[in-house]
Amino acid sequence: MASDATRERPNYEFPWLPRFPVAFDLLFGRRRSFARDSALVMAKNLYPRRSEGFGQLPQASTFVIVANHYNRPGLHPYHCAMAITTAVAAQRPGRPELSWLFTSEWYGVRFGPLPIPVWVTRWLFRRIGRTYDLVVLPRREELVMARASSLHRVLSMLAKAPIAITPEAGGTGPLVEPPAGSGLFLSILFQRGYPLFPLAVFEEDSTLVLRLGKPFRLSMPRGLPREKADRMAREQTMVALGRLLPRDYWGVYAAEVERSLAEDGAPT
């Protein structure tokens, strides 16, 4: 991930053609297909991409995709979400939609020199969620009731379509620790019988790689305090992702990923 290689990486764009209808639908609450708009955006960004392992996805049943959060200038998280959605739709043409879970607010955003108030991003994200039938997760841990409502909605949506989540909720590439509570959230989905597919997002030179692994398990001893169970589930999740990523992306979980690979006798 040298600086010279970074400068050579492509700048993904959001094409101008769909912007006006999207803005109209956001304002008036008209429903749009995220799979269709994702395919349109990706078709306008003809840069090298490689999808691995997507052939193992179930054709009929639903599932959960757990991806790392990848972000850099010229390639934003929504580009990655659209690339993933397009890859999933290619494997499931009869059921192409993939519902994303994303944060309820965004801090430190600027429009040129002007800071954008947090309430603006909250409003915008709610409109995006309504238009594309996505789930907005409260970012602040103290919003217990709102998080419980979001979980109920996620379980309802899983009855009809797969979902995807980036548990880190931030970061630029190397793995970072997900916020508290995300481990228990994924544990509930796992206990309900939904397979958790780890998805590594990274770049090899100018190629965006989407590497889907086999479903992983979340296993915690019975009677473990909630805080410890949450921490253990988060670590197991990030190790599953790290095993699919190049070493430079292991971040704060480097020791845990290396230990996991060594236990399996896999090359590190």
From first to last of its 268 residues, the chain has per-residue pLDDT tens of: 444 444 578 999 887 655 667 777 777 778 889 999 999 999 999 999 999 999 999 998 999 999 999 999 999 999 999 999 999 999 999 999 999 987 655 555 555 666 666 656 677 777 887 888 888 776 555 444 345 667 788 888 898 899 999 999 888 889 999 988 889 999 999 999 999 999 999 999 999 999 999 999 999 888 899 999 999 999 999 999 999 999 999 999 999 999 999 998 776 6
The answer to whether 150 touches 138, Cβ cutoff 8 Å, is yes
Range of the domain at 219: 3-262
What dihedral angle (degrees, nearest 10) is formed by the CA atoms of 143, 145, 148, 153? -100
Which CATH number fits the domain that encloses residue 200? 3.40.1130
Please give the backbone phi and psi of residue 170, each rounded to the nearest 5 degrees, phi first.
170, 175
Look at residue 64 and tell me if it is in a domain.
yes
CA distance 62 to 121: 30
What dihedral angle (degrees, nearest 10) is formed by the CA atoms of 184, 190, 194, 199? 70
Residues in the chain: 268
Q: Is the CA virtual torsion 252, 257, 262, 268 positive or negative?
A: negative
The answer to whether 211 touches 199, Cβ cutoff 8 Å, is yes
CA distance 80 to 45: 12
CA distance 231 to 233: 6
pTM of the shown model: 0.87
Look at residue 268 and tell me if it is in a domain.
no
Look at residue 267 and tell me if it is in a domain.
no
Look at residue 233 and tell me if it is in a domain.
yes
Q: Indicate the number of domains in the chain.
A: 1
